[in-house]
Amino acid sequence: MHKVNASIITIGDELLIGQTIDTNSAFIAQEFNKTGVWVHRRVAVGDVYDDIRKALDDESVLSDIIVITGGLGPTADDITKPLLCEYFGGKMIVNEKVKAHVIHLFEKIFRRPGPMLERNLKQAEVPDVCTVLHNARGTAPGMLFRKNGKLFFSLPGVPHEMKGLIVNEVIPVIQKEFALPAIIHRTVFTAGRGESMIAELLQDFEASLPSHIKLAYLPNYGMVKLRLTSIGDLADAVNKELEPFFIRLQELVKDFMVVNDDKKLEEVVGQILRKHAKTMGTAESCTGGYIAHLITSIAGSSDYYKGSVVSYDNTVKSGVLGVNQSTLSQYGAVSEQTVTEMANGLLKTIGTDFALATSGIMGPGGGTPEKPVGTVWIAVATAVKTETLQLNLRFDRERNIHMTAAAALDFLRKFILANT
The one segment of 33-41, 248-256, 267-275, 322-330 that binds a second copy by CB under 8 A? 33-41
The residues, any chain, with a CB within 8 Å of residue 5's CB and separated by 6 or more, are 37, 38, 39, 40, 62, 63, 64, 65
By CB under 8 A, tell whether 411 contacts a second copy: no
By CB under 8 A, tell whether 186 contacts a second copy: no
Q: What angle do CA 29, 31, 34 make, to 5 degrees?
A: 105
State the Cα–Cα distance between residues 267 and 301, nearest whole angstrom: 9
The least distance separating a second copy from the CB of residue 231, rounded to whole angstroms, comes to: 12
Q: DSSP 3-state assignment of 14?
A: helix
The least distance separating a second copy from the CB of residue 75, rounded to whole angstroms, comes to: 4
State the Cα–Cα distance between residues 182 and 274, nearest whole angstrom: 33
- What x/- string results for residues 127 through 156 when contact with a second copy is judged by CB under 8 A? ------------------------------
By CB under 8 A, tell whether 104 contacts a second copy: no
State the Cα–Cα distance between residues 381 and 3, nearest whole angstrom: 52
Using CB under 8 A, which residues numbered 264 to 283 contact a second copy?
281-282
Beta strands 150-155; 142-147: pairing state: antiparallel
Q: CB count, 10 Å around CB of 26?
A: 13
The one segment of 10-18, 145-153, 241-249, 263-271 that binds a second copy by CB under 8 A? 10-18
Using CB under 8 A, which residues numbered 321 to 350 contact a second copy?
349-350
By CB under 8 A, tell whether 41 contacts a second copy: yes
The least distance separating a second copy from the CB of residue 256, rounded to whole angstroms, comes to: 15
Report yes or no: 166 and 159 within 8 Å, Cβ to Cβ. Answer: no
3-state secondary structure 392-403: ECCCCHHHHHHH
By CB under 8 A, tell whether 80 contacts a second copy: no
Using CB under 8 A, which residues numbered 232 to 261 contact a second copy?
none
By CB under 8 A, tell whether 320 contacts a second copy: yes
By CB under 8 A, tell whether 227 contacts a second copy: yes
By CB under 8 A, tell whether 119 contacts a second copy: yes
